[in-house]
Amino acid sequence: MPDTIVLPPPSKNEGIKARSRALRGTIAEGMDNVVTGALAEDDTQLTKFHGFYQQDDRDLRAERGRKRMEPALSFMARLRIPGGRVSPTQWLQLHEIARERANGTIRLTTRQTIQYHGIIKGNLRSALSAVNDALLDTIAACGDVNRNVICTSNPHASLAHAEALALAKRLSDDLLPKTRAWHELWLGEERVAGGEPEHEPMYGPTYLPRKFKIAIAVPPQNDVDVFAHDLGLVAIEHDGAVIGYDVSVGGGMGMTHGETDTFPRTGDVIGFCTPDQAVAVADAVIRVQRDNGDRSVRKHARLKYTIERMGVAAFQAEVERHLGYALAPAHGFAFTGTGDRSGWSQSPDQTWQYGLFVENGRVHDLPDRRLLSGLRAIANVHRGEFVMTANQNLIIAGVAPEDKADIHSLLLQYGLEEGASALRQASMACVALPTCGLALAESERYLPSLITKLDAVMDEAGLRDQPIVLRMTGCPNGCARPYLAEIAMVGRGPGRYNLYLGAAPDGTRLNKLYRRDIDEGAILADLTPLLHEYAAGRREGERFGDWVIRAGHIEATTAGNRFHLDLALA
């Protein structure tokens, strides 16, 4: 008798999705229950597909627990804004939602969109319907589906940038779930008579095994960290127009400390597609992941693990079987960096743009830097658009030459003109505490003070103008893409981090674990001599991430697209 293969049972989330009636669950009933600020546990998995998470204020968790009170519950809502572009009118609407329905701040994310924090249950419906009034939505911003599609910022920079933005929008729209659940639940749209179960032609009834992310890069900028995404498209230009995209698959950042079968991975380039083929390629990659991804263990469900298991060649063959044709060979490309340009610059179409540094993406008013109010004032006179970047910054784009002086004086009036060091400008931190339920350590609230200390070292070493990509996250999930930073700190516990060094500054090589489980004193003690040594020993134009390898502080084996040996330590 042949051996029967016993497959592990599907994860709990698979059952929740299957029973959800196309993502409805019992969310409507939960919203009507005024006794609690919470939704039913299973529904909190489904709300992710609608773009929001139930959270609690972790600063208050212990105290409320002692008093036997319900945690201080609220919701985080994430918008879907492909390519991160909004009009000034939309910005004003988003500003009002932050003030009236959320905690009064707007959080620019590492994937070119915004998040609101602190929306209480009673404000959720009106917040989402106000988002809809701004001609935006939160559909599929989270959940096991294709997420917000990101692309190299600033559509005015070239025709290729504008084409990339148009493709980002097309991909985002075409790959949306087809269920009307969002419209019914949050806008009160009537259900079609009979309430027939809806058909999800691409996703099927259980959607994807896990989240799926797409990024489009326009070389030489790799500001989207294209190799960190499940699917990356790199624009190939000829005579200023995009003739197609090199296709990368299987990137991802998330890992778990101590679990060596979880790891960050950079994508593999498997070929080239024309602009007309790009949506079909994304559709085919998603279908192969839908059918082959791990539906039992969510920690192994991302596309990167499917590809590791199947092998790149077999995965590509499956994609091509769905497409009905083979991908053309990749053209090849070169990147110069992953950062954003700050300050004023002019585009070929003669409009101006101002690259505005937003520390860790948090748009709020500080006494000397009134970002929230300043951006509202600018939105009142600006006639171009605002473009969020994948580095948590904002571009005031498409500024007509005659408006530049007015906008500049508003930047000065609200204290928004650039003064941050090169290190600070090249830094990112994830949200972490107090809202993120997975944070093990501080990140957004802590990194600014650590950078002040590191800036003193950089000054002493004569490195004030030297950009070094530095990123921090409160846990190993990798939301600020730390494993692609020249210097990264990844939270392990309160005040303690793993220190990683040596990623390529153009986003093509992962970094490597340098020290494990250290506090601020040890971080500064490790980095101070390294930064001095780098200042003295670097070659012309050599970046820190490359130098640490040449100087022998990090083994050259970091080249490659996944972690190997260092995981044994982590």
Terminal C-alpha separation, the chain: 44
SS3 86: strand
Q: How many residues bind ligand SF4 (CB under 6 A)?
A: 13
CA distance 444 to 425: 14
Residues 430, 471, 481, 512: which is the catalytic one? Answer: 430
Peptide bond connecting 2 to the previous residue in cis, omega within 30 degrees of 0: no
Residues 142, 151, 273, 479: which is the catalytic one? Answer: 479
Give residues 466-505 in contact with ligand SF4 (rule: CB under 6 A).
473-475, 477-479
**DSSP type of residue 192:** P
CA distance 228 to 304: 10
In Å, how far are 21, 27, 150, 190 from 193, measured between CA atoms? 15, 20, 37, 8
Closest to ligand SF4 by CB, 264 vs 337, is 264
Q: 131 contacts which partner out of ligand SRM, ligand SF4, none, CB within 5 to 8 A by kind? A: none
Torsion angle, alpha carbons of 517, 521, 526, 527, to 10? 110
304 is catalytic: no
Question: Per CB under 6 A, does 361 bind ligand SRM?
Answer: yes
CA distance 464 to 387: 28
169 is catalytic: no
Q: What is the maximum alpha-carbon separation in the chain? A: 82
Q: Compose the 441-470 pattern: x for residues touching ligand SF4 by CB under 6 A, - for all others.
A: --x---------------------------
Binding segment (CB under 6 A) for ligand SRM, from list 28-36, 320-328, 374-382, 429-437: 429-437
Closest to ligand SF4 by CB, 47 vs 443, is 443
Q: How far is the CB of 275 from ligand SRM (least distance, A)?
A: 23
In Å, how far are 220, 249, 501 from 333, measured between CA atoms? 8, 16, 25
Binding segment (CB under 6 A) for ligand SRM, from list 82-90, 329-337, 473-481, 535-543: 473-481
Binding segment (CB under 6 A) for ligand SF4, from list 216-224, 308-316, 368-376, 429-437: 429-437
Length of the chain: 570
Closest to ligand SF4 by CB, 218 vs 430, is 430
Positions of E strands within 431-473: 470-473
Per the structure block, which two tokens stand in for 17? 């999705």
Does residue 317 contact residue 363 with C-beta atoms inside 8 Å? no
In Å, how far are 82, 213, 227, 254, 477 from 140, measured between CA atoms? 12, 11, 22, 19, 20
CA distance 568 to 158: 45
Q: 481 contacts which partner out of ligand SF4, ligand SRM, none, CB within 5 to 8 A by kind? A: ligand SRM
436 is catalytic: yes
Applying CB under 6 A, among 13, 115, 393, 558 the residue interacting with ligand SRM is 115
17 is catalytic: no
213 is catalytic: yes
For the chain, helix (H) and strand (E) counts, in that order, are 17, 22
Applying CB under 6 A, among 437, 462, 493, 560 the residue interacting with ligand SRM is 437
Applying CB under 6 A, among 24, 85, 95, 111 the residue interacting with ligand SRM is 111
Bridge partner list, 362 = 107
Alpha carbon 308 to chain centroid, angstroms: 23
Question: Per CB under 6 A, does 438 bind ligand SF4?
Answer: yes
CA distance 18 to 217: 35
Closest to ligand SRM by CB, 431 vs 458, is 431
Q: Compose the 236-255 pattern: x for residues touching ligand SRM by CB under 6 A, - for all others.
A: ----------------xxx-
78 is catalytic: yes
Active site residues: 78, 147, 211, 213, 430, 436, 475, 479
Residues forming contacts to ligand SRM in the complex (CB under 6 A) are 53, 55, 76, 78, 109-111, 113, 115, 147-148, 213, 228, 252-254, 302, 361, 392, 430-431, 435-438, 477-481
Residues lying near ligand SF4 in the complex (CB under 6 A): 430-432, 436, 438-439, 443, 473-475, 477-479
